[in-house]
């Protein structure tokens, strides 16, 4: 089994800067208000050394968005592509997602805070990343027998509903105490029920037609 190559000093410093930025946001500081001097001081480098790793603070923020959303899409894709019966896919996807949020709270806290933050390029990058997530989910949902006759617009609509529910679940998971397994399980169960309700209602929808209220 091959080992991953050890990080260079530059890669280690870059990772340290990213983690330090995430921690500052988690402590309530907005990315827009973050001090370059304090950030670099927290990892033991001078401010000018920052530019060896990132062109600007904005570039750092975009790297954090990309890192958070890219990994999320990968693990959710793996959950959906597993060899599972359709009724098990929702449970597997919710469990996979919840465990990932619990293991990586800093990344999700950053995305949720900066989704409506004051740095426009970050807001745009997060919005674009979420829309990509919606598009990929719509493609996967189109393979389900109950949805394979739906048009693209309606598939994106139901995908957006699911992603919206997932974002709400994310906030609840982040707010739950780390050692409260009972609360964690409750959030996961509720999220699974919400997604099952959406899917149970799907067969009643006639894609491409005006449905009665």
* Domain spans of the chain, in order of start: 60-204
Given this structure, which CATH class describes domain 60-204?
Answer: mainly alpha
3 or 95, greater pLDDT: 95
Residue 63: pLDDT band (50, 70, 90) is very high
pLDDT in tens, 6-45: 678 778 999 999 999 999 999 988 999 999 999 999 999 9
Token couple for 73:
């899409």
Q: What is the mean pLDDT of residues 76-96?
A: 70
What distance in Å separates the CA atoms of residue 107 and residue 99, rounded to the nearest whole number? 13
Which of 173, 31, 169, 179 lies closest to 105 in space, CA to CA?
173
* Burial (Cβ within 10 Å: 0-12, 13-18, ≥19) of residue 63: middle
Chain mean pLDDT for the chain = 87
pTM, two decimals, is 0.84
What distance in Å separates the CA atoms of residue 199 and residue 31, rounded to the nearest whole number? 37
């Amino acid at each position: 089994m091959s080992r991953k190559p050890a990080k260079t000093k530059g890669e280690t410093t870059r990772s340290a800067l990213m983690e330090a930025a995430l921690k500052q946001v988690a402590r309530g500081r907005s990315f827009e208000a973050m001090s370059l001097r304090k950030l670099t001081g927290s990892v033991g480098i001078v401010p000018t050394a920052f530019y060896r790793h990132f062109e600007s603070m904005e570039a750092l923020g975009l790297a954090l968005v990309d890192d958070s959303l890219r990994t999320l899409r990968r693990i959710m894709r793996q959950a959906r592509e597993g060899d599972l019966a359709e009724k098990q896919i929702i449970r597997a996807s919710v469990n996979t997602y919840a465990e990932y949020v619990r293991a990586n709270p800093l990344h999700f806290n950053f995305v949720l805070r900066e989704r409506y933050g004051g740095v426009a390029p970050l807001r745009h990058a997060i919005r674009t990343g979420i829309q990509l997530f919606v598009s990929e989910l719509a493609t996967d949902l189109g393979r389900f027998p109950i949805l394979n006759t739906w048009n693209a617009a309606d598939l994106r609509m139901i995908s957006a509903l699911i992603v919206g529910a997932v974002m709400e679940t994310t906030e609840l998971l982040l707010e739950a105490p780390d050692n409260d397994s009972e609360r964690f399980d409750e959030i996961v169960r509720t999220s699974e029920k919400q997604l099952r309700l959406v899917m149970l209602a799907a067969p009643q929808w006639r894609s491409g037609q005006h449905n009665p209220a």
